[in-house]
Structure 1
Amino acid sequence: MSRRASGLKAWFLQRTTAVYLGLFGSYLALYFMLSAPASHAELVAWAASPWVALGLLLFIPILLAHAWVGIRDVLMDYMKPIGPRATAMTLVGFVLLASGLWAAQAIIAARAFQ
């Protein structure tokens, strides 16, 4: 695979994930501005509803993919030595993976308490 194709795939992934993040982020902002839950129980009930839970479960990997592509591109552009760059990319990958697993567990646990 050529470097050009890899760059095009990253560019396309960054743009498509940005569309979902923008749309779902707008929904979240409008929801919390117009009808914010009054209690923690209402927030958990809202997050546990099937469509919101699905949207949040999609939001997590899409956000993490978007963040990975952005951080990876910055590291590739500005860290020229391969050793520190590989170390930084590995650490970022582990942090993003742990964050995604934690967020997914939190959403699934919220559904279990319903």
Structure 2
Amino acid sequence: MSRQAHGLRAWLLQRFTAAYIALYILVTGLWFLWQPLHSHAQWQAWLAAPLPNLATALFIATLLIHAWVGVRDVIMDYVRHTGARVSLMALVALVLGGTGLWSLRVVFSVVGQ
């Protein structure tokens, strides 16, 4: 794959993930304005429903992908030393991976309750 095609793929991925992130924030924000949740039990019940749970899991995944593509491109553009670039990208991947696993664990922990 050419470098130009790789750049186009990253650009498109950033746009699609940003669109979903914006849509999720808009829809859930309006939902909570219309029907606020006042207790922990209400939050659990909302998140235990299939649609909000799936939408939230997808939100977390798209947020992590969006962050990875953005940070990866910045590191590739501005960190010249190959060893430092690879180390930074590995560190970012570990942090985002750990954050993603922890976030999905929290989201899916209410399903079984």
TM-score w.r.t. structure 1 length? Answer: 0.94
Deviations 1:86-107 (A, max 9, x none): 1010000011111111111111
Could you tell me which residue of structure 2 aligns to residue 9 of structure 1?
Answer: 9
Deviations 1:36-75 (A, max 9, x none): 2110000110011110001011111111100000000111
Q: Distance in 2 between matches of 1:80 and 1:31?
A: 46
Aligned residues: 113
Compute the displacement of 1:35 (Å).
Answer: 2.3
Q: Please, which runs of 5 or more residues in structure 2 have no aligned partner? A: none
TM-score w.r.t. structure 2 length? Answer: 0.95
Deviations 1:9-45 (A, max 9, x none): 0001000111101100111222233322110000110
Q: Distance in 1 between matches of 2:68 and 2:100?
A: 12
What amino acid maps onto 1:74 in structure 2?
A: V
Q: Distance in 2 between matches of 1:55 and 1:71?
A: 24
Q: Distance in 1 between matches of 2:53 and 2:24?
A: 12
Pairing 1:61-100 to 2, within 5 Å after superposition? 61-100=61-100
Identity of aligned residues (%): 45
Q: Please, which runs of 5 or more residues in structure 1 have no aligned partner? A: none
Could you tell me which residue of structure 2 aligns to residue 30 of structure 1?
Answer: 30
Q: Distance in 2 between matches of 1:108 and 1:89?
A: 28
Q: What secondary structure, in the 3-state scheme, does the structure 1 residue paired with 2:25 have?
A: helix
> What is the root-mean-square deviation of aligned Cα atoms in Å?
1.0
Q: Distance in 2 between matches of 1:33 and 1:87?
A: 43
